[in-house]
Amino acid sequence: MDVLLVIVVLAGGLALLMVAADRFVAGASELAVRMNVPPIVIGAIVLGFGTSAPELVVSIMAAAQHEVDLGLGNIVGSNVANLTLVLGVAALIRPIDLPFGTKRRAVVCLVAVALFGWLVQGSASTGEGLVLLGFMALALTLLVRMDTEEVAAEPASPSGSSAAAWAWTIGGLVLTVTSAQAVVWAATDIAERAGLASGFVGFSLVAIGTSLPELMTVVAAARRDESGLILGSLLGSNVFNSLGVGAGLFLAGDGVVTDVALQTRGSIAAVVVAFVVVVFMRTVGRNSLVRGEGVVLLGGYVAVLALLATSAGT
- CATH value at residue 217: 1.20.1420.30
Is residue 224 domain-resident? yes
| Mean pLDDT rounded to a whole number for the chain | 79
**Residue partners of 115: CB distance under 8 A and separation at least 6:** 132, 135, 242, 243
Q: Out of 41-55, 261-275, 277-291, pick the least confident.
A: 41-55
The answer as to whether 128 is a domain residue is: yes
Whether 257 and 263 have beta carbons less than 8 Å apart is answered as yes
In a domain, residue 189? The reply is: yes
Of 152, 163, 65, give the one whose Cα is nearest residue 101: 152
Distance of CA 35 to the CA centre of its chain: 26
What's the predicted TM-score (pTM) here?
0.79
Determine the residue type at 296: V
Quick check: is 56 in a domain?
yes
Q: Is residue 284 part of a domain?
A: yes
Answer whether 234's CB lies under 8 Å from 280's CB. no
Q: Give the integer Cα–Cα distance in Å for 108 and 111.
A: 5
Eight-state DSSP code of residue 288? E
C-alpha 174/C-alpha 186 separation (Å) is: 19
How far apart are the two ends of the chain, measured CA to CA in Å?
21
Quote the domain boundaries for residue 305.
3-309
Give the pLDDT mean for 212-234: 73
pLDDT given at position 188: 75
Q: Is 31 contained in some domain?
A: yes
Whether 129 is covered by a domain: the verdict is: yes
- pLDDT digit string (tens) for 247-275? 998 888 767 788 888 888 888 889 998 88
In a domain, 314, yes or no: no
How much of the chain, in percent, has pLDDT values that exceed 70?
Answer: 82
Q: pLDDT tens digits for 131-153?
A: 999 999 898 888 777 654 444 44
DSSP string, 161-229: -HHHHHHHHHHHHHHHHHHHHHHHHHHHHHHHHHTB-HHHHIIIIIHHHHTHHHHHHHHHHHHTT-HHH
The domain total for the chain is 1
Q: CA-to-CA distance for 40 and 86, rounded, in angstroms?
A: 22
What is d(CA 195, CA 255) in angstroms, rounded to the nearest whole number?
Answer: 23
